[in-house]
Amino acid sequence: MVGAGLVQGGLLLSLHEWFRAFGFQATDLVWAAPAYTLIIFAPTTFNFLRHEFTLRQSLAGAAAATLPFVATAAWSGWSSVAGAEDAWFFASAAGFFMFCLTSLIAWFIMLPFVQSGLRDGHMRVQYARLFDDAWRNTLLLANCILFAALFWMLLGLWGGLFLVLHMEFFRDLFTSRSFVYLATAVAIGFAISLEEKEAGALRTLRRHLLAFQTRLLPLAALIVVLFLGALPIAGLAPLWSTGHTTPLILSILAILICLTNAAWQDGSQPPPFPVAVQWVVRGALALSPILAGLCIWSLSLRIGQHGWSIDRVWAAILVTLAGLYAVGYAASAVTRGWLRLLGTINTWLALLVIGTLLAVHTPLLDPSAISASSQMRRLVSGAVKPERFDFDHLRFDLGRAGVEALRALAELGDHPHSGVIRDKARDALARKTRYADHEQIALDETAIKARLKPYPLGSTVPEPFIVFLAERLASASSSHHLTALRTGKAVPLLAIDLGMGPEPELILMAFPFPAFAVVDGRWRQIGWFDFNGLTIKPDEITALLQRGDARPAERVWSDLRLGTRRGTLKPLLDD
């Protein structure tokens, strides 16, 4: 196991040195993504299996649990590259994070099935063994992470102590790339190799974790029952007004399902609660499909209004899986016995989760392709006008699928706006970065005035303010808050009294929401607004401004209330 870790660390180091020597090109994703997947998953899987199975079985199991992810990594790397210079989607933090996260989750769920197949020699699994393997793997992985963290903490102390004595050798050794790669992989392999000696301690820890989780199940069930009981009284309007109801509902649903599994375990234990508490739990599980239905309803409204996006595809996958779990657990709650169907439901849904998380990185369920196709249909059908369509989103955020959609739009014919669409699509295809070409456009006072849309409706933009903006845009060091004016789209400008002086203050209602005021007889930027980390879509901003739903929120320096959101002014006195 330590040897496998050493090989893993050496291969990761080799890849790192390769890219340092030859550089990284976007087309390298086609082979680099599957290479990293193979190097990370194969030795780790081998180590998880080796303590119980023979060398041959462990190698076969590692291949079975790794090759599907190598294939999806290869396709993901290929689909994210739209040209030799483009890796925008896959290389972005969100795209890379989602690929790693979903692959890790699917691999972790698959591992107990591989262990069961190697142990029994067939694919018919026993849920009790799956449950036992899943918990052992969970605790073993947590132990590896803790062991590696403590290992590096001790090495840091080692290097620091000798550095006090002006001996830099150990600090330089421990921070070198070679040592970091090799030592980390070997430490993890060594931690896994200790599992057999610490099996008793892990089983004791599992009992304690399951015990305290079980005690929380009645509380979670009571919350669900009370919430659904209050829903007919309060109505659905408060749900839709918050903007974050779906994550809250999915969170309580996930907690209810997890705690139910902790209480039920592998089904061999008697019910851990009195009959009255069991009925509360059954009631919550039986009503849980209503929670999933509310999430599906909310998401369907958003999709109907704005079409599919990558985020909405992921949300639909999550909500659908949550709905299937809710329906399955509800069916188990209304049958005789103590939730006797859970083992079968968990087994089949685990296989469905694995298949789904693999499919999202194939042509079957690719979020980028679904989003690109949906947005293109909305444009062609007239649901969104060409002037309001985000061609850059197709070009720079959706990888190969987005570029292929742009190429189709660039050849569009037999459409009322085909000329405009073709021109904008070809312009997007010709550009190499999202903003560089826009920033080369010089904006004079006339162009700035044309791009500002003042609110309240009917108000005018002060001429001195336009002169001020022109001066700011001409200065590269002080125009970073005015990027929205360079995009070529109309930018809402809100005139509102924030209490800075006799004249209303002005706010550009596009990220990062800079605010301006007359100070000592001239316009200056006084700061920008932070809406508590929330992202407000341009269409939502426009709708709120058109109905006049923007007003000061009381403060020493007033905040800005935009609908139900509150923006905090970050002061900035800029000369």
Band (pLDDT 50/70/90 cuts) for residue 574 is: very low
pLDDT computed for residue 504 by the predictor: 84
Structure tokens at 115: 């262990």
How many CA atoms lie within 13 Å of 291's alpha carbon, on the beta-carbon side?
36
pLDDT computed for residue 196 by the predictor: 60
d(CA 276, CA 271): 12
Average pLDDT over residues 512-521: 82
pLDDT computed for residue 362 by the predictor: 93
pLDDT computed for residue 84 by the predictor: 37
Give backbone dihedrals phi and psi of 112, rounded to 5 degrees, phi first.
-60, -35
Which of 34-48, 239-253, 358-372 is the least confident region?
239-253
Kindly report, residue by residue over 388-428, the tens digit of the pLDDT. 888 888 887 888 888 899 999 998 888 888 888 888 888 88
| Exposure string for 467-494, b = 16+ CB within 10 A, e = fewer | ebbbebbeeeeebebbbbbbbeebbbbb
Give the contacts of 295 (CB within 8 A, at least 6 positions apart). 246, 249, 250, 319, 322, 323
> How confident is the prediction for the chain on average, in pLDDT?
84
Average pLDDT over residues 494-517: 81
Which of 92-96, 129-133, 502-506, 561-565 is the least confident region?
92-96
Residue 533, by phi and psi: left (phi above 0), alpha (psi -120 to 50) or beta? left
Rg, C-alpha atoms of the chain: 29
Which of these, 212, 331, 213, 210, lies nearest to 266 by C-alpha position? Answer: 210
The larger pLDDT score, comparing residue 219 to residue 413, is at 219
Which of 29-38, 448-457, 561-570 is the least confident region?
561-570
pLDDT computed for residue 193 by the predictor: 79
Residue 58 reports pLDDT greater than 60 = yes
Q: What percent of the chain has pLDDT over 70?
A: 88
The larger pLDDT score, comparing residue 500 to residue 190, is at 190
Which of 201-210, 352-361, 480-489, 550-559 is the least confident region?
550-559
Average pLDDT over residues 193-205: 70
pLDDT computed for residue 90 by the predictor: 47
pLDDT computed for residue 350 by the predictor: 95
Average pLDDT over residues 457-465: 83
Residue 555 reports pLDDT greater than 60 = no
The larger pLDDT score, comparing residue 479 to residue 306, is at 306
Kindly report, residue by residue over 230-280, the tens digit of the pLDDT. 988 888 777 777 767 888 899 999 999 999 999 998 888 888 889 999 999
Structure tokens at 236: 């659905």
pLDDT computed for residue 260 by the predictor: 94
pLDDT computed for residue 149 by the predictor: 93
Average pLDDT over residues 528-548: 73
Report the 10 Å Cβ neighbour count for 48: 27
Kindly report, residue by residue over 4-25, the tens digit of the pLDDT. 888 999 999 999 998 888 877 7
pLDDT computed for residue 236 by the predictor: 78
HEC string of 222-245? HHHHHHHHHHHHHCCHHHHHHCCH
Spans of all domains in the chain: 2-197, 201-359, 367-434, 441-571
Band (pLDDT 50/70/90 cuts) for residue 78 is: confident
Q: What percent of the chain has pLDDT over 90?
A: 36
Average pLDDT over residues 512-526: 82
Residue 45 reports pLDDT greater than 60 = yes
The helix/strand count (H/E) of the chain reads as 22, 8
The larger pLDDT score, comparing residue 276 to residue 51, is at 276
β strands within 59-149, DSSP E? none
d(CA 344, CA 561): 50
Kindly report, residue by residue over 323-338, the tens digit of the pLDDT. 999 999 999 999 988 8
Structure tokens at 447: 């162009």
- The structure's pTM equals 0.73
pLDDT computed for residue 524 by the predictor: 83
Q: How far is CA 435 from CA 290, 317, 439, in A?
A: 45, 32, 6
The larger pLDDT score, comparing residue 370 to residue 544, is at 370
Contact indicator for 2, 193 with CB cutoff of 8 Å:
yes
Residue 559: helix, strand or coil by DSSP? strand
